[in-house]
A and B are shown apart, each in its own frame.
Chain A
Amino acid sequence: MLDQQVSPIAPQDRSVRTLRIITVAALFSLFFIIIPTLCGAGIIRDHYLNQLGRYICFAIAAIGIDLIWGYTGLLSLGQAFFFCVGAYAMAMHLALPQGGGDVRPEYNMIPQFMFFNNVHSLDHAPFWIPFRSRAFAISAGIFLPAIVASIFGFFIFRSRVRGVYFSIITQAVAWGAWLLVSRNEMLLGGTNGLTNFYKPLNQSRPWIVTLYLASLTMLTLAYLACRWITRSSLGRVLVAVRDKETRLYFSGYRPYRFKVFAFAVAAVLAAIAGMLYAPQMGIITPARMKVEESIMMVIWVALGGRGRLWGAIFGALLVNYTYSMLTSDMPSAWPFIQGAMFLAVVLLFPQGCVVLWDRIEVQVANRAGALAILAAAGPLLAISFFILLEALGLMPHALRQDLHGIQPKYILLLIAIGGSAFASWRLRQSKLKQVTAVALAGAPLAIMEGGAS
């Protein structure tokens, strides 16, 4: 398992390093500078930046899942619960007048839903009172999941519950929590959740850009932290837990400690993601806590690529944009595609999308021609480009016309991926047809780009 997921390229290779540096720099300037600037200039609508900000929150949670699943081998099906712990902690603060909540005098300046549960002052819901303070809300959002995860993890891992047993129990816990929070008696808004926050949070441009940048910074920090963990000797122990726990146990380690640690870190990351998500979404409901959501989070990581932190980020964005596109373009097809995604990622490409990148690096390391590199980069470029256009609302109108039930953009995407696959295959065979093949792959990309500008 370990061997498959380590990059096949020697990291010392100079051109590969250059490629990586260039890519990282490009991504940084794109997300940190270009996109906020474009939004400030009004080219990107606020709505799209808000959406991107929310999906970046999902990516933070995905990094946590990658840490426990990809590196430590614990498949938790309850991460959405920790996500919601953070989101609810923040939402409780935001729903109160001290957090800028939209409360009315006729409801005694407390969240409106409480009145429907016969609570007329916060004294009857004492656990709400400390959430008036922002510092408390934030620390609760961080420490509560950490404590819950540690206690739960301690009991579960110490008794050496592992593998699918662990998955089932986390799933059951998330299910139980969902049942509880959905009840009105919990005074957390029941199935309607918490809402009526300070309106400009997800409507005025300065707030949207601020929250977007905050999420992005948090993502970067989370990535760096997890990268540091996985590259340290601690990370090696985590991988050992995944690959041969019994041997580790007999070598004098206590695997459960490492598991509890990783589990708590993942829970905190999910909760931080939730805390940033709630204000950007403007509402948080128990539906986010459902078992389905947790499993969906796992599939982000599976599709992006386990055991590679950036794969988790890429997967989260990819799946969520696919979701938002398909649920608006062809709603009844989404569950089919979702299901097919699960099957495909498990059966056909268990390594996920990171393989696409590895292919580029191989070409670069082999000093292949520019055409070959371009052909290898085709699928990843096409997907990223497609998502970026969609994410920023820049998809040209012509490509969004309905054409016998399917939009041309999907056809172009398929042609681009298929074409570049065909191209890299042909390139290996003969140099003669290089130009035609690459042109074939490049044409749809060019069309998308041409339409965009």
Chain B
Amino acid sequence: MLRPRLARRIFPLLVVLLICTFARAADPSDALAGLLKRLAGADESERKAALAAMEKDGDARLVPALIAYRDGLLAVRDNQVVVYGNRVEIEGRGKVYPVLDALTLAPVTEKSGQAHFEESLPATVLRAPRAVRTQISNLISSLSLLDPNPAKRKAAIIDAGDRADEKSLASLKSQLERDPGGRFSAPLRESIARIHLAHGSREEKLAAVGELGKLASGNGGMSLRKALEALEKSPQRDAQLEQAIHQSLQTVESYQKKIRFIHNTFAGLSLTSILILMALGLAIIFGLMGVINMAHGEFMMIGAFTTYVVAEAFRRHMPGAYDWYMLAAVPAAFLVSAFAGYLCERLIIRHLYGRPLETLLATWGLSLILIQTARVYFGDTLSVASPTWLQGGWEVAPDLVLPSLRLFIIGFCAVCIVIVYVVIRFTSFGLLLRATTQNREIASALGVSTRRVDGLTFAFGTGLAGLAGVIVPLYNKLNPNIGQEYIVESFMVVVVGGVGNFFGVLLGGAGLGFLSKYIEPLYQSFHGLASSASVLGRVTVLILVILFLNWKPSGLFPARGRLADA
């Protein structure tokens, strides 16, 4: 018999304890594991009950297990519910299935601590009976709507709209009510409106049309067009609804047009920045020595492979820091390319001054040798994984996602260009470089070691190409021919800009980059030309360049004075 006061003191304690025990029992992952066990059990009524329970208070963590159950990849192994993952190739064992925990998706380990693999699916594997497969698919989509991973959740919300899935409507609405101004509100509103448009009453449809017009998203536009087609085909026409749809479609299309323009501008900007980075090195070398370096693209290739080697080293020796391999790759690529360029200047180019056409052939030969060397050592099929912070994008407005990769490329090139400008304009090396470019004899007479300046300049220019090599593998495959893809266009930039002029290169690069990205969509809008729009765009730019040269033969900023004719 407890005294009341003590009882009063102890009671809350008990309650807390009780709650704690309950909370332990109700620890969600435990509950989910229990549900899964029931699902994987032999008893059929138990399975149905488990599914019903999942529908009531399931969680997105169940999704992989449910997908595996639907596709027949779920099994109970040593009293643990597991799923079999996508087959992977393992040396010595051929293609095998990795065995993963159904909830955490962590690999199931053997006693030795190594991940467990199996050659074939065991006979005990569970597959949902045909009757419940639809139910499970629905369950998967409604559970995904609450996925803790925001990207997946958003994809699921949009997917529900794509399928005009009425069953998800309640879930979507409740989510929107809970958080009307949150980050998911736009996709939620869009999907709700799309579902309404497909299945709702007339009033709901009208409201949905207005909503989609306000949102002006591309997906909404698709639904609107579909609804309009259906209306036009149906026996009872509804003039008011059609009118509303037309109006909304107009807003959607004008918004989408703006978005496309911004996208093209952005793509043009990133192409421009790479072209400028490549062309700057070419232009500096050409301006100083009158040398067309056909192997310039190959110095970029050297930079790209240096990046690959650095990234591989990071992946092997410190995988945790892989995201930051760029910090080491940038200086490494610059130095390696610059050193290769310096060697090449000392051994080959130095002996060919005053013979520009021969230099062109010699550097072409050099490029063949470099490409084949890279092919022999590295082969053709390599790639560099981007660091995780470059994946994804920055959503500026609905439907307007600027990929962070492009943003990074633009930023990187801008920084490089500024550094080049500073080096040329404000350092003593830059002073000597400009002096030698303007008048080699006088500079030499005043004590400038023009040979040394030549060597350093060549190294500087090729180093810049190496920097371009750091970013190109981020969005392109890495193969020994990688340099060849940019070389013709970089030459065009130099030719348009005028020889050895910093601002000429900037303008030329911007002109070519934007032109090709703006002309491409023009061809896309013609039927029959769309599939070769990119080629036609490049060819058109080429023709424009030739016409431009007919008007200004020495580019935008021609060299002036007595040297112009040399």
Is the C-beta of B495 less than 8 angstroms from some C-beta in chain A?
yes
Is the C-beta of A363 less than 8 angstroms from some C-beta in chain B?
no
Is the C-beta of A233 less than 8 angstroms from some C-beta in chain B?
no
Is the C-beta of A410 less than 8 angstroms from some C-beta in chain B?
no
CA distance A302 to B365 in the complex (A): 13
Pick the 8 closest A-B CB pairs, nearest first.
Answer: A342-B365, A339-B369, A339-B368, A335-B372, A339-B365, A346-B362, A159-B553, A176-B539
Could you tell me which residues of chain A, from 158 to 205, have a CB within 8 Å of some CB in chain B?
Answer: 158-161, 163-165, 167-169, 171-173, 175-176, 179-180, 182-183, 185
Is the C-beta of A155 less than 8 angstroms from some C-beta in chain B?
yes
Contact status B528-A185, CB under 8 Å: yes
Contact status A164-B348, CB under 8 Å: no
Could you tell me which residues of chain A, from 217 to 274, have a CB within 8 Å of some CB in chain B?
Answer: 246
Inter-chain pairs besides A159-B550, A346-B352, A346-B365, 4 sampled, C-beta below 8 Å: A171-B488, A172-B545, A175-B488, A179-B538
A-B contact pairs, 19 of them (CB 8 A): A75-B360, A155-B547, A156-B546, A161-B553, A164-B292, A164-B357, A168-B292, A169-B495, A171-B491, A173-B542, A175-B488, A176-B539, A299-B361, A336-B373, A339-B368, A342-B368, A345-B361, A347-B348, A347-B352
Contact status B549-A161, CB under 8 Å: yes
Of the candidates A167, A169, A338, A339, the one having the most CB atoms from chain B within 10 angstroms of its own CB is A339
Q: Which residues of B contact A169 (CB under 8 A)?
A: 495, 545-546, 549
CA distance A341 to B365 in the complex (A): 7
Q: Closest CB of chain A to B427's CB: distance in Å?
A: 28
Instruction: Write the chain A residue with the least CB distance to B291.
Output: A164
Contact status A346-B495, CB under 8 Å: no
Binding site for A on B (CB under 8 A): 286, 290, 292, 348, 351-352, 355-362, 364-369, 371-373, 375-376, 488, 491-492, 495, 528-529, 531-532, 535-536, 538-539, 542-543, 545-547, 549-551, 553, 565
Contact status B357-A163, CB under 8 Å: yes
Contact status A342-B549, CB under 8 Å: no
Q: Closest CB of chain A to B346's CB: distance in Å?
A: 13
Contact among A172, A180, A335, A340 for B492, CB-based, below 8 A = A172
Q: Closest CB of chain B to A223's CB: distance in Å?
A: 24
Q: Which residues of B contact A69 (CB under 8 A)?
A: 357
Could you tell me which residues of chain A, from 123 to 180, have a CB within 8 Å of some CB in chain B?
Answer: 152, 155-156, 158-161, 163-165, 167-169, 171-173, 175-176, 179-180
Is the C-beta of A440 less than 8 angstroms from some C-beta in chain B?
no
Contact status A156-B549, CB under 8 Å: yes
Q: Which residues of B contact A171 (CB under 8 A)?
A: 488, 491
Could you tell me which residues of chain A, from 345 to 383, have a CB within 8 Å of some CB in chain B?
Answer: 345-347, 350
Binding site for B on A (CB under 8 A): 69, 75, 152, 155-156, 158-161, 163-165, 167-169, 171-173, 175-176, 179-180, 182-183, 185, 246, 291, 295, 298-299, 302, 332, 335-336, 338-343, 345-347, 350
CA distance A358 to B286 in the complex (A): 36
Contact status A340-B369, CB under 8 Å: yes
Of the candidates A75, A295, A338, A342, the one having the most CB atoms from chain B within 10 angstroms of its own CB is A342
Instruction: Write the chain B residue with the least CB distance to A1.
Output: B355
Of the candidates A152, A161, A246, A335, the one having the most CB atoms from chain B within 10 angstroms of its own CB is A335
CA distance A171 to B290 in the complex (A): 18
Q: Which residues of A contact B351 (CB under 8 A)?
A: 347
A75-B357, A335-B371, A342-B368 as given contacts; A156 in contact with B531, CB under 8 Å? no
A183-B535, A185-B531, A341-B365 as given contacts; A350 in contact with B357, CB under 8 Å? no
CA distance A102 to B392 in the complex (A): 53
Contact status B488-A342, CB under 8 Å: no
Contact status B361-A346, CB under 8 Å: yes
Contact status A180-B539, CB under 8 Å: yes
Q: Which residues of A contact B352 (CB under 8 A)?
A: 346-347
Contact status B553-A176, CB under 8 Å: no
Contact status B542-A335, CB under 8 Å: no
Instruction: Write the chain A residue with the least CB distance to B547.
Output: A155
Q: Which residues of A contact B362 (CB under 8 A)?
A: 342-343, 346-347
Contact among A160, A183, A336 for B553, CB-based, below 8 A = A160
CA distance A334 to B509 in the complex (A): 35
Q: Closest CB of chain A to B513's CB: distance in Å?
A: 16
A339-B372, A347-B351 as given contacts; A156 in contact with B550, CB under 8 Å? yes
Q: Closest CB of chain B to A382's CB: distance in Å?
A: 24
CA distance A223 to B545 in the complex (A): 36
Instruction: Write the chain B residue with the least CB distance to A158.
Output: B550
Q: Closest CB of chain B to A3's CB: distance in Å?
A: 16
CA distance A347 to B547 in the complex (A): 36
CA distance A246 to B532 in the complex (A): 43
Contact status B364-A336, CB under 8 Å: no
CA distance A176 to B545 in the complex (A): 12
Contact among B355, B367, B491, B565 for A168, CB-based, below 8 A = B491
Q: Closest CB of chain B to A322's CB: distance in Å?
A: 14
Q: Which residues of A contact B538 (CB under 8 A)?
A: 176, 179
Q: Closest CB of chain B to A307's CB: distance in Å?
A: 13
Q: Which residues of B contact A152 (CB under 8 A)?
A: 546
Q: Closest CB of chain A to B286's CB: distance in Å?
A: 8
Instruction: Write the chain A residue with the least CB distance to B373.
Output: A336
Contact status A185-B369, CB under 8 Å: no
Q: Closest CB of chain A to B558's CB: distance in Å?
A: 11
CA distance A297 to B290 in the complex (A): 24
Instruction: Write the chain A residue with the least CB distance to B489.
Output: A172
